[in-house]
Amino acid sequence: MEAPQRNLAMDLVRVTEAAALASARWLGKGAKNEGDGAAVDAMRLSFNSLDIDGRIVIGEGEKDKAPMLYNGERIGTGHGPAVDVAVDPVEGTNLLAYGRPNAIAVVGLAPAGAMFDPGPSYYMRKLVVPAPARGVVDMDAPVAHNLEATARALGKKVEDLMIFVLDKPRHKELIARIREAGARIQLHTDGDVAGALMAVDPASSVDMMLGTGGTPEGVLAACAIKALGGEILARFDPQSEEELARVRDFGLDTSAVLTTDTLIRDDNVFFAATGISGGTFLGGVTYLGTGATTHSLVLRGKTGTIRRITSTHQWDKLMRFSAIKY
């Protein structure tokens, strides 16, 4: 038996709440860079108060040309546990810009050295299933086989399954195969971290996520997948010859199948996500004039605890000391 230990996810949710509160001011205004910038600023300021010795492994990255929360940046006070950190201040910047559902602010954390560094890889093909279907799917099996195996593990028929797929031209054949097998599909324009979360969340109607999405997003989602006991199988899927060359020069094997345990090599993982625009997965930020309400998902891998937190923020008290102008 162990005495209760500090749950870092409870600190992380303050970070995701700050990002959500700041970025939601830009909801539907068609300005994704401004919304993302507000979230980055708020998230970075919030990290300053955390007693961790953190290193960003999955950050805004080269593709975003971000001045902060970039890959390799040190965050936290420098006191406390050494940790790898994955962030996405706004997962779904287009969703935020156009006022569409399921934009979220996300942070994952694992012990130092436990988080996979994907280097210059932008895209990977992913298969995500919930805990009951762990170990029954195969990255190289036909789509119909994986649907049938997942349905059996969940005690369902294939026709009952709901599959999350990004609505991209590259998925035309995948979508056709899923429909031929008889499963149902939710098509989303963006947000494959949210899609992976839906696939492993026991409270979600989504049973699986399939298709090619962001590599950094895959590692970030793996924090939550690990905490919830689900499974992600992935393989690098460069979308250009230039990306392929960079991935190979970095020393990554494009034929290898990456697993949950490859992406996050320790069970002591923490994860927090706060809804920005709202949707079927997490409620969004609601401004009340005198404050705001947020809705968050908080996970701790070691205990498997799932917390769903609704927070009310009061401007008259918060703004007395907050460095973030909500």
Which amino acids are annotated as binding site for substrate, given as ranges? 91-93, 123, 168-170, 190-192, 214
Output the six-digit token pair for 224: 């939550």
Q: Distance between CA atoms of 108 and 50, rounded to whole angstroms? A: 14
Which amino acids are annotated as binding site, given as ranges? 36, 60, 88, 91-93, 123, 168-170, 190-192, 214, 217
Cα separation values, 233 from 133, 139, 226, 302, Å: 12, 6, 12, 21
Beta strands in the chain (DSSP E): 53-58, 74-75, 82-91, 104-111, 123-129, 162-166, 184-188, 208-214, 231-236, 270-275, 286-287, 291-300, 305-314
Is the dihedral angle over the CA atoms 164, 94, 22, 79 positive or is it negative? positive
Which amino acids are annotated as binding site for Mn(2+), given as ranges? 36, 60, 88, 91, 217
Cα separation values, 154 from 158, 165, 200, 204, 272, Å: 10, 19, 12, 13, 26
Q: Distance between CA atoms of 75 and 64, rounded to whole angstroms? A: 19
- Is residue 176 a contact partner of residue 192, using CB atoms and an 8 Å limit? no
